[in-house]
A and B are shown apart, each in its own frame.
Chain A
């Protein structure tokens, strides 16, 4: 039984990056404020001191430029980790990160891979306004060639980040600003990895499966707790990665419960939630007692006002309502 230590989410990410940088000289970190400022959200605290300015690089406010530069570096042998201060800013770098990184292996006939990790804050909840509150998985998961990772706990953050850095494909690592201060037990050890495409059952249940990823997993756990008092026992699945998707885990759970509610912080149209629903309808058609229910962020730009933003999110109350509806307990 390995030891664990209590870490904040942000420090779990930092430790993952630092351990990998110690292990492999090709790994480096670049982004706005990552070096001298110790990170806009203090994720890279102390890393400049340890690794120096050649490996921890402050970039200008130029996402398209430095993303493209990092992709070029990755093609030629480095293993960069690129921080977007917010995934909302990645839209400025859409061309390099969607048109170049995922396609490089394909277009070069295997000559150039792109072992790069893009990371940053994803999702709403911090009253950052509609332009800074993107959940980009709704957009980017459509593109083949990218791996999309969304941890919900410090332990997963560390294990998944290590896997991401060691992965030879471009990985989009989506953190939640609201979770950065979350504390959790993290296994100690440099080779403790969390594999991609492996969901985790956060809570067992019999009446309804709730599948989610990222921060909403915590809303799901709250909902499951509340519903258990009503006699509805939910199984909560944390999918951890959208690409690759552990559809098998969802299938096994739905076969047991006959019901699925997906909780996705993207907008609903053409989202990972809709993809999971479509796949489950296909794979579990004869096992379902009701159609797959989905809880998404409201189909409007993110509001700034606190109360409106809370209502905008796929919050606990909405999850409870969806589960009751799915299980005919409304």
Chain B
């Protein structure tokens, strides 16, 4: 039982997502655990097989209690069975609560199964990494040196040496395929042979080794990708680590999640009026509600009727989340390099507009100045992105994994509208849901939007 927050003394396994005998992979959520604060997902960080679940669902146990046994390939159950005592002595405690987000939870049994000292989990883990076969890229020294010189990315190569070792031949092949030859190669030089040009003794009969085009000289060709096109001047801007993370995550999202969009228009006249009224009455208390606060609450309340929109794709199953945590996209100042953070407001369905508003403001301010902690950015179940303040009418957003949907809100603009068969002026906002088609079907999405429409167009329902 991991310590998922500073104050946690014990936890209850709400539900096991695996059964004995199931294979698990690193990152897979194996259980939902209720802590003193919230119910959290608990992933494992090893590949293997669950051989035993020691604590049934519904039971509360102290932090540090062994709750399951996972065996990796090649491990025997005897070794596992002998070491339960080790786990009881000192529960693994996690650095600080900000890291207790599900991203860092461990199944405490794993380190004791290996007979490692549970007092020193770090050393045991390092040992496992050093011993594991797939932990490092194996490269021969000269292959590494050439790759560095010629800027060949070792991670993109498959090694043909023993144990997958990347050898000189692999790097030279990669270079050839890239279309440029390393500096001093001549037609007479053999594939696995010299980098220097003193090859006078070698005849140029073809080399038996794996490669194809051997004795044919490869002249450097201009290729589109990776080579600077002469004439276009550009300055290079270093990419911040935030931008790198954004790039990676969004590429992953867009390429692995089957996105589709559903849009709807919302008549916001009554909401705008209510907002004005509330803000004027509560101004003295320092409360200023934004349209987005209403939207965030509306989205959260809509989840009750449509729980699939508050779920995540889990491979062979769908995980229906027990909390509604709404992520709010916060744009960072361009002068400071720009970027985007998602601040997470937890249990939005249980919070008042006022609470949502103040929390959103606080987190946005913090995001723009000091940045957000892990806990403040994790465990969202749905995300709202609003470009209305820029006058944007309509846009589509990219799903923020592991969410299954994101709502992109445009501006509430005065538009010519048809009401009761009459042409009049009204506030209209277009919002577009981007959805994961594995989890949410079009009809489901449409129904959710209708529920949201009902709430936003009859905003009293958002207050009580």
Q: Which chain B positions have C-beta within 8 A of A287?
A: 141-142, 145
Q: Which chain B residues lie closer than 8 Å to A286 at the CB level?
A: 141-142, 144-145
Of the listed stretches B203-211, B224-232, B250-258, B353-361, name the one at the interface; the rest are far from the partner chain.
Answer: B203-211
A256 in contact with B141 (CB, 8 Å): no
Q: Please name all residues of chain B whose beta carbon is closer than 8 Å to the beta carbon of A207 when the two chains form the complex.
A: 190, 192-193, 207
Which listed residue, B160, B200, B206, touches A328 by the CB 8 Å rule? B160
B168 contacts chain A at the CB level, 8 A cutoff: yes
In the A-B complex, the 9 residue pairs with the closest CB atoms:
A204-B201, A206-B193, A231-B208, A289-B168, A206-B202, A286-B141, A231-B207, A289-B140, A258-B142
Residue of B nearest to A254 (CB): B142
**Are A328 and B169 touching (Cβ within 8 A)?**
yes
Q: List 21 A-B contacts (CB under 8 A).
A: A204-B202, A206-B193, A206-B194, A231-B190, A231-B208, A233-B202, A233-B203, A285-B141, A286-B141, A286-B144, A288-B140, A289-B141, A289-B167, A289-B168, A289-B192, A290-B140, A290-B161, A327-B209, A328-B160, A329-B208, A329-B209
Q: Does A232 contact B (CB under 8 A)?
A: yes
User: Is B189 part of the binding interface, using a Cβ–Cβ cutoff of 8 Å?
Assistant: yes
Number of interface residues of A (CB under 8 A): 23
Task: Say yes or no: is A230 at the interface (Cβ < 8 Å to chain B).
Answer: yes
Given contacts A231-B207, A287-B141, 10 further A-B contacts (CB under 8 A): A204-B202, A206-B190, A207-B207, A231-B209, A233-B202, A233-B203, A257-B193, A286-B145, A288-B141, A289-B192
Are the CB atoms of B167 and A231 closer together than 8 Å?
A: no
- Interfacial chain A residues near B203, Cβ < 8 Å: 233
Kindly state whether residue B240 has any CB partner on chain A within 8 Å. no
Say if the beta carbon of A205 comes within 8 Å of chain B.
Answer: yes
> DSSP class of B's interface residues: helix, strand, loop or mixed?
loop
Chain A residues with a Cβ under 8 A of chain B: 203-207, 230-233, 235, 255-258, 285-290, 327-329
Given A206-B189, A230-B208, A233-B201: A256 touches B196 (CB 8 Å cut-off)? yes
The answer, yes or no, to whether B31 is at the interface (CB within 8 Å) is no
Residues of A within 8 A of B168 (CB): 258, 289
Distance (Å) between the CB of A82 and the closest chain B CB? 41
B positions within 8 Å CB-CB of A: 140-145, 160-161, 167-169, 189-190, 192-194, 196, 198-203, 205-209
Q: How far is the CB of B263 from chain A (nearest CB, A)?
A: 58
A contact residues around B194 at 8 Å (CB): 206, 256-257
Least Cβ–Cβ distance between B214 and chain A, in angstroms:
9
Q: Are B193 and A290 in contact (CB under 8 A)?
A: no
* Complex-state Cα separation, A271 to B201, whole angstroms: 31
Interchain nearest-CB distance for A145 vs B (Å):
35
Contacts of B140 in A (CB 8 A): 288-290
* A285 partner residues in chain B, CB cutoff 8 A: 141
> Could you say which of B141, B189, B194, B202 has the most chain A C-beta atoms within 10 Å of its C-beta?
B141
The reply to whether B206 and A231 form a contact with Cβ atoms under 8 Å apart is: yes
Chain B positions within 8 Å of A288 at CB level: 140-142
Q: Which residues of B contact A233 (CB under 8 A)?
A: 190, 193, 201-203
Report the nearest B residue to A259, measured CB to CB: B192
Q: Give chain A residues whose Cβ lies under 8 Å from the Cβ of B196.
A: 255-256
In the complex the two chains form, what is the Cα distance from A258 to B169 in whole Å?
11
Closest CB-CB distance, A322 to chain B, in whole Å?
15
What chain A residues lie within 8 Å of B142 (beta carbons)? 258, 286-289
Find the A residue at minimum CB distance from B161.
A328
Determine the chain B residues whose CB is within 8 A of the CB of A204 once the complex forms.
200-202
Which chain B positions have C-beta within 8 A of A328? 160-161, 167, 169, 192, 209
